[in-house]
Structure 1
Amino acid sequence: MARFEATTSSDAGRVTVWLSGECDLAVRERLTSVLLTAVAGGTVVVVDVGGVNFLDSSGVHGLVTAHHAALAAGGRLYVVNAVGGVARVLDVTGVGELLRQPADDHGSEQR
């Protein structure tokens, strides 16, 4: 697996971003850029972190920065499919709850 990859798709104002690899200091700027571009492209941004195997504070910062940008633009950003250590980091920091997708939003997060 590559160190970090991001793939996006857009459908009717909803942008899905699939992340894989490691979200750390080395890719902070690229991660933040990808997320902010997604926020600019849709009202709802869903970030699928199912393929992320490492997330540090730099990755968390990128998610929170994009979350604030989405709110400022009148949109929302959600994180889905966090597992293992990534889920633990999101839960410990409170970001998992902050960016949890509501149960009534049943849009597609799968490729």
Structure 2
Amino acid sequence: MASFEARTAAGEGRVTVVLSGDCDLTARDQLTHVLLDAVSREKAVFVDVAEVSFFDSTGVHALVTAHHAARGRNGRLFVVNAGGAVAAVLELTGLDALLRAPAEGHRHA
């Protein structure tokens, strides 16, 4: 069983949240907390999911919750580096289009 980790790095006018491991029910509280904290600090938040090995409805819910929080502050949440099964879940739910970064760092495998 893979563990979950979220690392945050602040940059000029943006926060990048790098996720790794399994975004599942066991990671729900930590994932939601990290994303909401990031959108409360900057108007642009980039969520890098390149190292995510599993992504279920818990991850979808956390992204949607953070997206709404960001929009409520006139900010944006973007997902970058989605590939494989993670990209498939984002595409299936429509989050790939909703949270696509403007011409940077987005790959779709």
Which residue in the other structure is 1:44 paired with?
A: 44
If the length of structure 2 is used for normalisation, what is the TM-score?
A: 0.91
Between the aligned partners of 1:48 and 1:82, the Cα distance in structure 2 is 8
Percent identical: 61
Find out whether 1:81 has 2:81 as its counterpart.
yes
RMSD: 1.4
CA distance in 2, matches of 1:73, 1:20: 27
Write out per-residue CA displacement over residues 43-81 of structure 1, whole angstroms, 9 at most, x where no aligned residue: 100000000010000111000100000000010000000
For the 8 Å contact 1:13–1:41, the answer to whether it is kept is no
- Mark the runs of 5 or more structure 1 residues left unpaired by the alignment: none
- Are 1:98 and 2:102 matched, yes or no? no
Which shifted more, 6-15 or 69-78? 6-15
Task: Give yes or no for the alignment of 1:55 onto 2:58.
Answer: no
Structure 2's unaligned 5+ residue stretches are none
Tell me, in whole angstroms, the C-alpha distance in 1 between the residues paired with 2:75 and 2:57.
24
**Runs of at least 4 residues off by over 6 Å:** none
- Scaled by the length of structure 1, the TM-score of the pair is 0.90
Alignment: residue pair count: 105
